[in-house]
Structure 1
Amino acid sequence: MTAIVILAAGSSSRLGRPKQTLEYKGQTLLQIAIKNALAVTEMVLVVLGANAEHIEPTIENLPANVLHNAHWEEGMSSSIRLAITDLEKNYPEVTSVIVMLCDQPFANAELLTQLIDKKKTTGKGIIASNYHNISGVPALFEKKYFPQLLELSGQAGAKQLLTQYPDAVAEVPFPEGETDIDTTEDYKRLNQKLL
C-alpha cells in the first residue's frame, strides 16, 4: 500500500497568513491536496505545525490522519521524520510513501497515480516529479528509503534523496509543478488562471 504524506506545518512567513487556508476554486489549498490524495489511497497523513488551531477545523470532515509537529520550526525534515515514524509504528502494511506539499494546487490525483504506476513499470525505488529540469515533489519513496528519510535534518526536504540516489530515481513530467504559493504575488497569479 502507498501512503501519502502532506506537509502542511510551515508558518507561511513570506505570505503573512497560513497558505493552508487560502482558497482556490472554492476550497482551501490543503483541502484540495487531501482530496487528491484520498482519490489515490485511503492512507493519508497531514502534518500540521504552525497555526494548527486555525487550520485543523478546516479539514476535520476529511478522513485524513492529522499529526502535530511540535518541532515545525526546524523545517520540513522534522515533519517528514514524524510522518515516517508514525507509518512504521502504526501501518506496517505500507510499502511506499508519496511526500507532497499543500501548496501545489495542480498536484492532482492523476499525477499521484502516475507516480505509483511509474514505480510499477520501472521498478525504481524513488519516483520524482519533474518540472523545468528540476526533480522534486510530489515524490514517491519505497519503504527501503524510510531509514534515509528518518535521517533528514534541518531545512532539508526529501529532495535530498533524489541527488543522493540518482540511479534509483525515475521521473514523471509535471510542468505545472512550478506553481506553488509562497507569496501574495504567487496567490494572485494562481487566481488569475481562473479568469
Structure 2
Amino acid sequence: MISAIILAAGEASRMGKLKQLLPWEDSTILGTVIKNIQESRLEGQIRVVLGAESDRIKRELSDYNCQFLTNPDYTRGMFSSVMTGIQNLPETTTGLLFMLADQPLVTTGIYNKLINYFKEEEPLLLVPSYKKRRGHPLIISAELIPEIHKLGEDGDPEGGLRSLLDKYEDDIEYYNVDKEGVIIDLDYYEDYQKYYSDHHS
C-alpha cells in the first residue's frame, strides 16, 4: 500500500504570502494537490505535513479527507517535515509518495501512471522526468524507510531527500512524462500569476 506525504509546512517566504491557500481552480493550491491525489488510485493514507499557519490551513481544508500532521520544527527545513510525515506508518506500507504543496499542475493521470508503474515494477525509487529534469512526486520503496530515519538521526541532512537519491542513484527508475507540471513549483508570486492565468484561461 502506497501512502502519500504532502510537504506543506513552509512559510513561503519567497512568495510573500501563504501560497498553500492561494486560489487555484475551484479550491486552493494545496487543496488541488490533495484533490488530485485523492482522485488517484492511491490506496493508503494522505498525510499533509503542516507548519506555518497550520491552524488556518486546517480550518480552510477541513472538508478534505486526509490526515493533517503538524511539524513543530518546520523552520529547520523540509527534511524535518519528511521525518514528521513518516512517523507511525501502517505496517502494510509498501511505498511512500512524496509531493510538494505547490505543484497543482501534476494531474491525477500522472499520479496513476506512477502508482501503477511502482506496483508492477517495484523499483527502490521512482522519479518522474520531464525532458531529463527530475520532478515530483517521487515514490520511495518502504525498504528505504530505515535509511530515511538514519538520515534524520544526524539532524537535517544537506539536501534532504536528495541525499537519498544521490546515494541510490543507480537504483532510481525514471518515468518520462510529457507534461511539464512535474517540474513546476510555484515559488514566486510571478510564477503563480503566470501559471494561474495559463491554466485558467
The corresponding residue for 2:58 is: 56
Q: 2:172 aligns with which of 169, 172, 178?
A: 169
Task: Please point out which of 178, 184, 197 is paired with 1:192.
Answer: 197
Q: Which runs of 5+ in 1 are unaligned?
A: none
71-80 vs 163-172, which deviates more? 163-172
Give distance in 2, aligned partners of 1:154 and 1:102.
21
In the aligned structure 1, how far is the partner of 2:52 from the partner of 2:172? 32
Query: Identical aligned pairs, as a percentage?
Result: 28
Q: Who is 1:113 aligned against?
A: 112
Runs (5+) with no aligned partner, structure 2: none
Greater alpha carbon shift after TM alignment, 141-150 vs 66-75: 141-150
State yes or no: 1:83 paired with 2:85: yes
Contact 2:51–2:72 under 8 Å retained in 1: yes
The aligned amino acid for 2:63 is N
Contact 1:76 1:156 survives alignment (8 Å):
no
The equivalent of 2:100 in structure 1 is 101
Q: TM-score, normalised by structure 1?
A: 0.91
Cα deviations by residue, 1:46-74 (Å, 9 ceiling, x for unpaired): 00001112211111111100000000011
What is the count of residue pairs matched by the alignment? 192
The residue matched to 2:86 in structure 1 has which SS? Answer: helix
2:22 matched to which residue of 1? 22
With structure 2 as the length reference, what TM-score do the two structures score? 0.89
Q: How far did 1:164 drift? A: 1.5
Match of 2:5 in 1: 5
1:122, distance to aligned residue in structure 2 (A): 3.0
Q: Aligned Cα RMSD in Å?
A: 1.6
Following the alignment from structure 2 to structure 1, what is the Cα–Cα distance between the partners of residues 20 and 97?
19
- Residues of 2 paired with 1:36 and 1:188: CA distance? 21
In the aligned structure 2, how far is the partner of 1:15 from the partner of 1:86?
Answer: 32
